[in-house]
Structure 1
């Protein structure tokens, strides 16, 4: 049974039309590097400063501090323009799935390779809110229990820290009671490194075959299918079972 579901943002819960992919490519090529599509996809789910550093070096540009910083700024500016022109939206069934999970007593957190500023702007454009008080997760006015960004941890994916910090924020102690879902291989690697149920979703750029190359427990069409997993179903039954004792 799970107590916490941790979902990635862009490509997993939020459809941004590939804006992150294009903004990352544009920023790195604008810095003079060449970008191979395979390398870009490999680094997509990671902390964006880490991704830019790696992609600059792979593309023949020395990733010194000033170059990385200016490229990251260009990435954020490109992404902000893209989101202003074409606002992102939730994938079909995601908001309903979040509501269903939370109605069963399962807390829901988002994790992301974005920093806090980008993540909050993205959430604001969707109208999603976060409980200020973790004990308030039953409120119908609260969408999420926590959001963890790369501003909050020492390292992003594939390190497990985003997931573990989501556990800390929501008061969940056991990794056996946590599920994490994402659309990239590094999402799956982070889930496995964290010791939680690892779920791949096909709403991103990877095919089922490509995503299945990573360490997974499930590969689903999307987050909308998470409430149907056995672990989530068990949680739905737990309150009734406890009351019967």
Structure 2
């Protein structure tokens, strides 16, 4: 099957943020009264690591219940304050986009952040025009590990068969999303949150050092 659309996660896959997610989580946890040290903070931090890639509001709803919106607002504020100078492209990401688009493959960028934060990251990188589709969880579009981000990207890109879609991400949640959607290629990359064993156990069709290794697989 010829790949017509490549759906990329952002942080950890095509964007390096030097741990800004965890630093911002600490701000969010403090904002809703989680003690700075102890079992409660450790358990919450572990859950955030395990669920990397999922919608942040869904993660905070699980952790903080009725205070999820407050936690999410604190998280987004902290992350956005650190974006400038704190995010940079993963080596080879820009070249991967260029190579795929030159071959006629459309590009989608997806995230577990809010749409506003996603666009702040794209602005900071100067990536306003690198993707055909840019998606975040929102009304009618559930975050990972649901298949919505991939399927919505497929519809917006005008691709007729999900087997012509490739998904790339650095977490088990990214892999689950691609598999649930039925993508033809579901690749895990080792530049982010989860290791090779975790990605293979999640069902990745390929495990790559980085997205720089993806074009030869998709264009072969």
TM-score (norm 2): 0.91
Q: Distance in 2 between matches of 1:121 and 1:153?
A: 22
The answer on 1:2 being equivalent to 2:7 is no
Structure 1 partner of 2:152: 165
List runs of 5+ in structure 2 lacking aligned partners: 35-39
Structure 1 partner of 2:76: 76
Deviations 1:147-192 (CA, angstroms, capped at 9, x unpaired): 1111254311111000011111111110110000111111000000
Q: Rate the CA distance shift 1:159–1:106 in 2: closer, same or farther, 3 A.
A: same
- Within-5 A mapping of 1:60-75: 63-64=65-66, 67-75=67-75
Q: Rate the CA distance shift 1:38–1:212 in 2: closer, same or farther, 3 A.
A: farther
Q: Distance in 2 between matches of 1:183 and 1:103?
A: 24
> Secondary structure of 2:6's partner?
strand
The answer on 1:228 being equivalent to 2:210 is no
Q: Rate the CA distance shift 1:153–1:26 in 2: closer, same or farther, 3 A.
A: same
Q: Distance in 2 between matches of 1:159 and 1:32?
A: 30
Q: Which aligned runs of 4 or more in structure 1 are off by greater than 6 angstroms?
A: none
Give yes or no for contact 2:175–2:204 (8 Å, CA) kept in 1.
yes
Structure 2 partner of 1:96: 95
Bigger Rg over Cα: 1
Q: Distance in 2 between matches of 1:211 and 1:182?
A: 9
The answer on 1:22 being equivalent to 2:20 is no
Q: Distance in 1 between matches of 2:86 and 2:81?
A: 10
User: What is the RMSD computed on CA atoms of the aligned residues?
Assistant: 1.4
> Secondary structure of 2:201's partner?
coil
List runs of 5+ in structure 1 lacking aligned partners: 57-62, 131-142, 235-245
Q: CA deviation at 1:30?
A: 3.4
> Secondary structure of 2:128's partner?
coil
Deviations 1:184-223 (CA, angstroms, capped at 9, x unpaired): 1110000000000211000002221222221110010111
Match of 2:132 among 131, 136, 145: 145
Deviations 1:20-61 (CA, angstroms, capped at 9, x unpaired): 1221233124313323243111222111100111122xxxxx
